[in-house]
Structure 1
Amino acid sequence: MPTATALEMTAQFKGQTLRLPNLKGLLAKWPNTINPHYEELKGIVECKIVEWISDEASRAKARKVDLAFFSAAWYPYCTLDRLKTMCWYSMWIFLWDDVIEDSTVPVRTVQQQALNYMEYHLGLAPANTDEPRPPTKYCALFQHCAKPLREEQTITERRRFLDQIANYMEGCETEQTFVQGGKIPTLQEYWDHRLQTSSVWTYCAIADYMAGVHLPEDVYETDDLKTLWFELNRHIVTLNDMVSFKKEVVKCSFHSLIPVVMRETGEDLDAVVQSLIKSLVSIGDSLDSAVDALIAKTEDDHELKTAVEKYAMGFRTNMTGNYWWSLVCDRYSINKYLQEDGSLVIPL
């Protein structure tokens, strides 16, 4: 049942138009291409959706996400095997929220059971641990991405991935307290947990795997690499919260950047959108500066420099790939609002 606050916001936005400019120019400095394995990947993904997912509602959701295009656009330079790993992980995370909402077991209990299951399949559980039962129907999907990670990633790398999944789940729990209470968070409160619930940091945690590199642990401790993670997350959240806004209005759900900023600043819809577009520019510049600084620190080590360049390239293609995926996938259903000049005019 929508809260009074949500109903007020719905009335405020009803009849308005969300106008998003063509962002192609904003993203032009980064590679914009699709992985050559895309067509082959589509068939593989469809077969696995049919094989692994038994109910039609969940199959439909997996198809709406277009996992093959998502992975091929985000990672245009990686191998087919790595693309498949990404598809299986993304299949799990896109289905995770729904099963949690439908569970009769307390969320925290389900989360801990899921983490135990993932820990086991990532090869991180104590010796002689029996395989835990997956706590939800589709939690078992995780084993398909865990196997190649277990085979190729170090214990430290796998632990970093699991830690970020736990961080994601913690953020989801915080978000639910706002949603269920009908409260629109302050901008600071929103960013504090939205950077967790976006799941982007879980993808950052396997960026080395997707690039086919292993970075020294001291590189992960640098401010420059931390900036890569932070700015990629902000970029993905900012863009996704704009392109998904119509869907939020339809659901009477306003746990999204646009209404949060409007309430914080008092600006109207158009002004807020313009400020968010400007923020995408500054975020991209900040990420590029961090990449340049990180590469500069590796000038004396050719092998490490090459690895860092491959790793960082993934963050740039994540940003461009996310934009093109957002335009075409059925998850947001905004392609029909695309204008000849590449802008979006979305009635709310």
Structure 2
Amino acid sequence: MSAILSILRWRPWFLQESDSRQNLLESLQGRSVNIPDLQSLFREWPQGVSPELGRLENDINEKLKILTQHLRLFPEVKRREKMKAADTALFSATWWPYADFEALRTVTYLSIRLFAWDDDSCEFSTLCTDIVKATEFRSETINYINKSLGISYDPKPVETPSNAIIPMFGEIGERFRQSSSLGNSLPTSSYFP
């Protein structure tokens, strides 16, 4: 119970303590809290692990090797280890257990890129402390993704972004375009690692 109360008390420095939150904390002190079985809430969710997990793991290991060795996207040992530990193949195989291999591969590649992008936006860079650079990074990412998906109305060709993580979305954009009803009629990007 004290652990739950500690979690409820924790607030980031930039958020104000609210009276209703404090009232809730006070009303819970000294009481037992019973958390019901939540399985019934998830009974309609797909459950299981994709039979493509082994094949996907091999594919993802090769992709990570390309990203780290050839494109040098994860130069820090800590970052490479974190990417491997994320086990994106298992993550995708359990979230989308009934997806066909290509769809599973696409969402796994997207997961890798999102995890890497998120890490790059804070943990492995100075973007957390530089609001101007962080804003530019996000803006450049949005523009690149829009162009990669073919939904940008900017007639200029896609340029190689300043941050090596951003172009990782290009392949995902291409995969999404190929699987969409618009197919290959959308413009393609000039840079896909």
Range into which the TM-score falls when normalised by the shorter chain: 0.5 to 0.7
The answer to whether the aligner puts 1:79 opposite 2:118 as a matched pair is no
- Which residue pairs with 1:112 in the alignment? 139
Verify the 8 A CA contact 1:117 1:131 in the aligned structure 2: yes
Q: Determine helix, strand or coil for the equivalent of 1:106.
A: helix
Verify the 8 A CA contact 2:93 2:104 in the aligned structure 1: yes
Q: Determine helix, strand or coil for the equivalent of 1:136.
A: coil
Q: How many residues align?
A: 141
- Which residue pairs with 1:143 in the alignment? 170
**Cα shift readout 1:187-212 (whole Å, capped 9, x = no counterpart):** xxxxxxxxxxxxxxxxxxxxxxxxxx
Q: TM-score scaled by structure 2?
A: 0.62
Shift of 1:128: 4.2
Change (3 A) 1:154 1:109: farther
- Which residue pairs with 1:69 in the alignment? 90
Q: TM-score scaled by structure 1?
A: 0.36
**Higher RCO (C-alpha 8 Å, min separation 6):** 1
Alpha-carbon RMSD: 2.8
Change (3 A) 1:84 1:26: same
Q: Distance in 2 between matches of 1:62 and 1:134?
A: 22
Shift of 1:146: 1.1
- Which residue pairs with 1:51 in the alignment? 66
Verify the 8 A CA contact 2:50 2:99 in the aligned structure 1: yes
Q: Distance in 2 between matches of 1:48 and 1:22?
A: 39
Verify the 8 A CA contact 1:41 1:68 in the aligned structure 2: yes
Shift of 1:130: 1.6
Change (3 A) 1:30 1:133: closer
- Which residue pairs with 2:53 in the alignment? 38
Structure with higher helix content? 1
Verify the 8 A CA contact 2:46 2:96 in the aligned structure 1: no
**Cα shift readout 1:63-106 (whole Å, capped 9, x = no counterpart):** 22211111111111111111111011111111122212213552
Q: Determine helix, strand or coil for the equivalent of 1:48.
A: helix
Q: Distance in 1 between matches of 2:157 and 2:143?
A: 11
Q: Which is greater in Rg?
A: 2
Q: Distance in 1 between matches of 2:78 and 2:156?
A: 34
* Percent identity for Structure 1 against Structure 2: 23
Any runs of at least 4 consecutive aligned residues in structure 1 with deviations exceeding 4 A, and if so which? 4-7, 19-26
**Cα shift readout 1:169-198 (whole Å, capped 9, x = no counterpart):** xxxxxxxxxxxxxxxxxxxxxxxxxxxxxx
- Correspondence for 1:131 among 148, 158, 161: 158
- Which residue pairs with 1:224 in the alignment? none
Structure 2 residue identity aligned to 1:62: M
Verify the 8 A CA contact 1:99 1:137 in the aligned structure 2: no
Verify the 8 A CA contact 1:52 1:141 in the aligned structure 2: no
Verify the 8 A CA contact 1:50 1:59 in the aligned structure 2: no
Superposition map of 1:1-348 within 5 A: 24=39, 27-28=42-43, 30-53=45-68, 54=72, 55=75, 56-101=77-122, 102=125, 103=127, 106-126=133-153, 128-154=155-181
Shift of 1:59: 2.0
Verify the 8 A CA contact 1:116 1:132 in the aligned structure 2: no
Unaligned runs of 5+ in 2: 1-9, 14-33, 183-193
**Cα shift readout 1:139-167 (whole Å, capped 9, x = no counterpart):** 12111211111122256xxxxxxxxxxxx
Q: Distance in 1 between matches of 2:78 and 2:85?
A: 11
Q: Distance in 2 between matches of 1:113 and 1:22?
A: 44
Unaligned runs of 5+ in 1: 8-18, 156-348
Change (3 A) 1:127 1:5: closer
Q: Distance in 2 between matches of 1:31 and 1:117?
A: 32
Shift of 1:131: 1.4
